[in-house]
Every structure is written in structure tokens, then in C-alpha cells.
Amino acid sequence: MGYTERVLEQVRKKYAYQPEFLQAVSEVFESLEKVIERNESLYEKEAILERITEPDRQIMFRVPWVDDSGKVRVNTGFRVQFNNSIGPYKGGLRLHPSVNLSVIKFLGFEQVFKNSLTGLPIGGGKGGSDFDPKGKSDREVMAFCQSFMTELCKYIGADTDVPAGDIGTGAREIGYMFGQYKRIRGLYEGVLTGKGLSYGGSLVRTQATGYGLLYLTEELLKCHGSGIDGKIVAVSGAGNVAIYAAEKAMQLGGKVVTLSDSNGWIYDKDGVDLDAVKEIKEVNRARLSEYTKYRPNAEYHEGRGVWSVKCDVALPCATQNELLIDDAKELVKNGVQAVCEGANMPTSIEATKYLQENGVLFVPGKAANAGGVATSALEMSQNSERLSWSFDEVDAKLGGIMTGIYHNIDDAAAEYDMKGNYVAGANIAGFAKVVDAMLAHGAC
């Protein structure tokens, strides 16, 4: 058994109760095997794989808050500081009832490689809570965010760890958390990204993950002889990533025909009306089932099913493991050409392999959705120099970063005789920089 397999076995034993984390580690290790082989004795001596799979630290804490009826409620808060070899820990905060240590560890692990791929100096971390913002009043959300930050503020800072948004954490939550950090620490610094424009946020950050996904997808298709123009695009999710992915897909000439939320999905064969979706989701915080009130000819279906629609390009932008083997089979049967992940780990390993084996261009989230965190790093730069850049300037930088990531992962895969395997390319290219820094820093 080689070094990679031995460590994978150890991690599987030690964290048998963390399925999402094990899924992320397995996927990365499988594609790193050839890279490790070239330097096996050095990496083993330096325990690179043991160190890269064990977070620097994992912080868990109680988050008590008072609901509108006066009752004290308690949630669990998390921050996993995974690896800061190439920069301060950086990664979002997820607020969703499904959050647990396994979920935060998988996200933190992915973030280490993703952040490396951006080419910017940011390490990897992730956090959040099992708090569900859905159905809560603004005051309750504020009470939760203030209590969460009262504890979290001890561990973060502009040069140590810089959280941001993720599922359930948008502009409103970041605002409340920033206010509490400033109040307790007495520091006006770029400790969070995704901030409002009036207090240090960056233009384009709201759109960045979705737009970045499309800049990369466009480059991928161009390098294979076409482009988004004229393509039928299926998008899942109806949150920050999905909405701005759909917006840029339309700007590039694609027709977006689906969106989904955790209750169901819409099919609008004439192309989704994004103004309606923004009103439903961003303004009213309502369910996607409302969509047919705006567009009576569209269909709303309860439950899963978004991948059953005929499309050329599929962009999963909701959550982990939302595109499974049967979905992959359906997509292939319907002639899908490319699947690019806007969400983190939305495609199961089995489904990923099926897509790749059937000639579908597949780009994993750690490359395809890196535009969000890349723009967060640009927000950090602007905060450090106390300046703000124009929309076009940030957008152009984002475009350059995403096309650069595509070519970087394409080249990395080719270098190891895996041309076209962007999963391998992303893992190899992301790993290289982190390992280089880890070796330079010695045993720490």
C-alpha cells in the first residue's frame, strides 16, 4: 500500500463518522496519487498528507440568543481554521440546520485548495452554525449574529482569519456580525468580506461567484470550440450563486430554463425571468413556488428533478450532493456537454465519474466557484489600502483570475497525463502551492 492509500485509510478510520469530510478527502487523494508518487519519500517524511488533512484548529462554541417570544434558544457555532500556509484563513460562514463538524471540515478542506487556485495569498477555513435563518424575524437574526460574533471575535482578525458569506449568510448577516466585531474589538478593519458598499465592501462581490463560474465555463467551452451563446442552461439553487450565475449566463447569450430551492424547482422553457426571482428570493425571502404567479406558463415541481430537463450546460449551485448518479445518467442521456459546479461538492463521486467517462466536460467547485473567494481577497486588498476600485476594474480582475484558473488546471492535468480531467487538474494545481509553503515552514 502506497503512502497516499495508507493516510487515506487512517483518515477513514479516525473520522468514520464524518462522511462529507471523507468524501472530500477521498476525491482529492485519488487524483493526487501520481503527484505524491514523484516525491513519496519526502512527503512521507514530512507527513504532508497527515498534516493537510488535520485542521490547524477547530473551534466549537455555544450560541445563546433570545427569540421573539422571550425564550432563550441555543445553537452550536463552528470555525475550522484548516491551513494558513499561504495566507490568513479565509472562507465563508454557513447558517443552515444541516451544519455539523463534518460539513464544516469538508468545506474548510476544499477551501484550502480553492484559495490556492486563485493565486492570491489566502489560507483555508470555514465556519457557521446549525442556526436556521429561515422564518426568523430580522431581530432574531440580529440577536443570533451578535451572539455568534461575541464568541467568534476572539479568534478572527484582518490578518489572522477573515470569514465571509455562504449558505444562509448574506449581506444582512455580515452587517450584523461586522457591527458586533467592531463594537467588541474596537477595530475598524477588513475582518469580514461580503460587506456592504457603505462600510468597506467591494463592488462585484455580490455577483462574483456566479459571474466567475460563467467566466470559467465560457473559457472552457471556447477552448472546446463553442461558447455559452445559444446554449440551454440548467441551474439549481436560487440563492446568491445561482442568481448571478443565471444572470451572467443570460448576458453571454445562454437560455437559463431552471432554478430550484429546497422545496422544489421551476422550469421556464422561455427562459427564466430573473427580476421575478430576485424579487421572490432577495426582497421577499419567499419560496420559489411563487414564481408561477409571475410567469403562469412556467412549471413548478415539488421535490427534486431539476436535472431531468434537457440542457447543454448544467450548473449545480445549491448544496453538496445534489447531483447524484441517476441525475448524471439523465443529463448524459439528454446530451449535456458541460457540468461546472457553482456549489461546493454538489456532485457525488459516482456521478462525477459517470459524467467524465461519458465525455462530459466537468469542472469541480474548487476551481469553478473560486470567483467568490477571489473577489473576497480583492476586497481585503482594497480594505488594506483603504481605497475602493470600480466595478469594471474588479470585474476585469475576476475575469482574468477565472480564465487563468481554467488554463492552470488544464495544464496541470495534462502534465500528469490526465488531459481533460479537471478534477485532477484542480487538486494537483491547488496542492502544489500549499505544499511548497508547508515544506518551507518546517514541521508546524
Angle at 440 between CA 42 and CA 190, to 5 degrees: 135
Q: Using CB distances below 5 to 8 A depending on partner kind, what does residue 90 bind out of ligand NDP, ligand 2IT, none?
A: ligand 2IT
Beta carbon of residue 115, minimum distance to ligand 2IT (angstroms, whole number): 8
Residue 116 or 344: the one with the smaller Cβ distance to ligand 2IT is 344
Q: Contact region for ligand 2IT (CB under 6 A) — 80-88, 89-97, 149-157, 282-290?
A: 89-97
Residue 193 or 408: the one with the smaller Cβ distance to ligand 2IT is 193
Beta carbon of residue 94, minimum distance to ligand 2IT (angstroms, whole number): 8
Evaluate whether 374 touches 211 at the Cβ level (below 8 Å).
no
13 part of the active site: no
Q: Where are the beta strands (DSSP E) in 227-372?
A: 232-235, 255-260, 264-267, 299-302, 313-315, 338-340, 361-363
Residue 22 to residue 15: CA distance in whole angstroms: 7
Q: What is the CA radius of gyration of the chain?
A: 21
Residue 387 to residue 407: CA distance in whole angstroms: 31
Beta carbon of residue 331, minimum distance to ligand 2IT (angstroms, whole number): 23
By CB under 6 A, the count of residues binding ligand 2IT is 11
Catalytic residue selected from 126, 136, 195, 281: 126
Q: Using CB distances below 5 to 8 A depending on partner kind, what does residue 87 bind out of ligand NDP, ligand 2IT, none?
A: none
Q: Using CB distances below 5 to 8 A depending on partner kind, what does residue 343 bind out of ligand 2IT, ligand NDP, none?
A: ligand NDP
Whose CA is closest to 157, among 182, 132, 121, 175?
182
Which residue do the cell numbers 433570545 mark?
66
Which residue's CB atom is positioned nearest to ligand 2IT?
92
Beta carbon of residue 387, minimum distance to ligand NDP (angstroms, whole number): 23
Helix (H, G, I), strand (E, B) or coil at 416: coil
CA distances from 35 to 40, 213, 429 (A): 8, 27, 10
What part of residues 100-119 is at the interface with ligand 2IT (CB under 6 A)? 114
Helix (H, G, I), strand (E, B) or coil at 364: coil
Evaluate whether 72 touches 66 at the Cβ level (below 8 Å).
yes
Residue 391: left (phi > 0), alpha (psi -120 to 50), or beta?
alpha
Residue 4 or 369: the one with the smaller Cβ distance to ligand NDP is 369
Residue 234 to residue 242: CA distance in whole angstroms: 10
| Interaction between residue 421 and ligand 2IT (CB under 6 A) | no
Nearby residues of 42 by Cβ (< 8 Å), 6 or more positions away = 439
- Give the footprint of ligand NDP on this chain (CB under 6 A): 98, 165-168, 209, 237-242, 261-263, 317-319, 342-344, 369, 372
Q: Using CB distances below 5 to 8 A depending on partner kind, what does residue 240 bind out of ligand NDP, ligand 2IT, none?
A: ligand NDP
Residue 54 to residue 269: CA distance in whole angstroms: 47
Residue 306 to residue 303: CA distance in whole angstroms: 9
| Interaction between residue 92 and ligand 2IT (CB under 6 A) | yes
Q: Contact region for ligand 2IT (CB under 6 A) — 10-18, 72-80, 304-312, 369-377?
A: 369-377
What part of residues 164-203 is at the interface with ligand 2IT (CB under 6 A)? 164, 166, 193
| Interaction between residue 127 and ligand 2IT (CB under 6 A) | no
Evaluate whether 356 touches 421 at the Cβ level (below 8 Å).
yes
Q: Using CB distances below 5 to 8 A depending on partner kind, what does residue 193 bind out of ligand NDP, ligand 2IT, none?
A: ligand 2IT
Residue 35 or 315: the one with the smaller Cβ distance to ligand NDP is 315
Which residue do the cell numbers 422561455 mark?
270
Applying CB under 6 A, the residues found at the interface with ligand 2IT are 90-92, 114, 164, 166, 193, 344, 372-373, 376
Active site residues: 126
